[in-house]
């Protein structure tokens, strides 16, 4: 049921991806990178579940030092996730097999330097170390340039952010790269990846519904996108991003394999027609950037607390840090994004304040009740 893919085949060390290569499965460590033992355990759990690639977040020199120790203790293919601090690329390169950068976060540093120059520098680092590259566009952190250029055409902005960066990388003669275009809304993920594949059928695609949240809803959202895209031969590697307790991280790979097998064998699951009519909880899968390790527990508590509101068409976003927190919560009816000691509460783009981890749930319930009353 998965037609041949039109993408080219690239290499991540000896691993082929794209074209006729098998669809590759990957996941990301949710622990602090500097907690080497915990992160190594995540890498081992994900690898043992059958992953082809494991991603680790790096934001500082201390993270790089920890990554070097993790590298020394595993033979897993490692990808590094660089957000604002893309300048760490040359420091992480000796310890990984692939680099992901986010076009939406390149503008934070070296403001005098052009985007093209920054991308050229990252590509050069990859070429020198024989690394592959991912251009990772995320709806929660769209580049200001594309947000302005495309205005309300949100999907257009995502697609062209990716396509513009492909053009830069192509011009530099680098071909071992893939693209991802992620949103927390599976329908937008389908739309954006279909439009991108139309524009660039040759570029391998990493599929993912970002911040899909807690199972089972997170799995259903991911399935919606994967069924629509893989059945059209779109998608060369998969990440199922679920909010899970650390020791269950391997489930992301197990679920990805099950989804892939179902789609290959034509077992499409219909989604309850009212699936999007009720309460939608968006939650990130956590990673090294998480501001407080209570995040996963908080996301689970939010799900429990809000069960009574399941019939109300509202979106609550629970995010682990400032990287995608502020952007992703802007689009939610109620949003929480974590700080080290406090949780920021928002109603759409309106800041309602920062609350202690022991008081945020009560405040959230107040706001939710207020919203429900206002809409009834």
Give me the residues paired with residue 280 across strands.
Answer: 315
Nearer to ligand SF4, 92 or 263 (CB): 92
284 touching ligand SF4, by CB under 6 A? yes
Residue pair 172/120 in contact by the 8 Å Cβ criterion: yes
Residue pair 100/82 in contact by the 8 Å Cβ criterion: yes
221 touching ligand SF4, by CB under 6 A? no
Task: Give residue 50's region: left, alpha or beta (phi > 0; psi -120 to 50).
Answer: left
**Nearest to ligand SF4 by Cβ — which residue?**
320
Residue 231 corresponds to which tokens in the numbers above? 């059945």
Nearer to ligand SF4, 81 or 164 (CB): 81
Residue 118 corresponds to which tokens in the numbers above? 């920054």
Residue 247: CB atoms within 10 Å: 10
Count of residues in contact with ligand SF4, rule CB under 6 A: 12
Question: What is the Cα 328 distance to its own chain's centre?
Answer: 12
From 356, 344, 16, 18, select the one nearest 178 (Cα to Cα): 18
Kindly indicate which of the ranges 95-103, 120-128, 248-256, 278-286 contains the residues binding ligand SF4, using the contact rule CB under 6 A: 278-286
Site string for ligand SF4, 42-81 (x = CB under 6 A): ----------------------------------------
Query: What CA–CA distances, in Å, run from 46 to 28, 31, 42, 246, 327?
Result: 8, 13, 6, 11, 28
Residue 326 corresponds to which tokens in the numbers above? 């502020």
Nearer to ligand SF4, 192 or 319 (CB): 319
In angstroms, give the least distance from the CB of 71 to ligand SF4: 21
Residue 92: CB atoms within 10 Å: 24
Site string for ligand SF4, 287-326 (x = CB under 6 A): x-xx----------------------------xxx-xxx-
One of 7, 27, 280, 286 touching ligand SF4 (CB under 6 A) = 286
In angstroms, give the least distance from the CB of 89 to ligand SF4: 17
336 touching ligand SF4, by CB under 6 A? no
197 touching ligand SF4, by CB under 6 A? no
3-state SS assignment for residue 212: strand
**How far is residue 174's CA from residue 132's CA, in Å, rounded to a whole number?**
9
Residues of this chain that interact with ligand SF4 (CB under 6 A) are 284-287, 289-290, 319-321, 323-325
């Amino acid at each position: 049921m998965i037609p041949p893919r039109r993408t080219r085949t690239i290499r991540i060390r000896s691993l082929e991806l794209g074209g006729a290569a098998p669809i590759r499965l990957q996941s990301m460590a949710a622990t602090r990178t500097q907690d080497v033992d915990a992160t190594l355990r995540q890498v081992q759990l994900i690898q043992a579940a059958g992953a082809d690639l494991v991603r680790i977040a790096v934001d500082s020199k201390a993270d790089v030092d920890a990554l070097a120790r993790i590298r020394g203790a595993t033979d897993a293919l490692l990808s590094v996730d660089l957000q604002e601090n893309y300048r760490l690329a040359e420091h992480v390169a000796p310890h990984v097999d692939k680099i992901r950068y986010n076009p939406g976060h390149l503008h934070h540093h070296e403001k005098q330097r052009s985007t093209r120059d920054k991308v050229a520098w990252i590509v050069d680092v990859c070429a020198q170390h024989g690394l592959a590259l991912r251009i990772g566009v995320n709806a929660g952190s769209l580049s200001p340039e594309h947000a302005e250029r495309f205005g309300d055409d949100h999907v257009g902005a995502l697609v062209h952010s990716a396509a513009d960066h492909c053009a830069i990388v192509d011009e530099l003669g680098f071909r071992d790269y893939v693209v991802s275009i992620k949103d927390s809304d599976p329908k937008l993920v389908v739309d954006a990846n279909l439009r991108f594949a139309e524009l660039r059928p040759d570029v391998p695609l990493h599929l993912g519904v970002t911040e899909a949240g807690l199972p089972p809803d997170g799995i259903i959202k991911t399935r919606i996108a994967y069924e629509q895209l893989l059945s059209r031969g779109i998608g060369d590697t998969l990440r199922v991003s679920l909010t899970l307790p650390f020791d269950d991280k391997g489930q992301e790979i197990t679920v990805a394999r099950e989804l892939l097998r179902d789609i290959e064998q034509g077992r499409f699951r219909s989604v309850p027609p009212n699936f999007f009519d009720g309460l939608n909880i968006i939650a990130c899968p956590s990673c090294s950037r998480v501001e407080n390790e209570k995040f996963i527990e908080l996301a689970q508590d939010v799900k429990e607390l809000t069960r009574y509101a399941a019939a109300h068409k509202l979106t609550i976003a629970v995010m682990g840090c400032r990287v995608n927190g502020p952007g992703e919560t802007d689009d939610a009816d109620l949003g929480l994004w974590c700080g080290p000691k406090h949780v920021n509460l928002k109603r759409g783009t309106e800041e309602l304040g920062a609350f202690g981890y022991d008081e945020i749930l009560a405040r959230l319930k107040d706001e939710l009740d207020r919203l429900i009353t206002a809409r009834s």
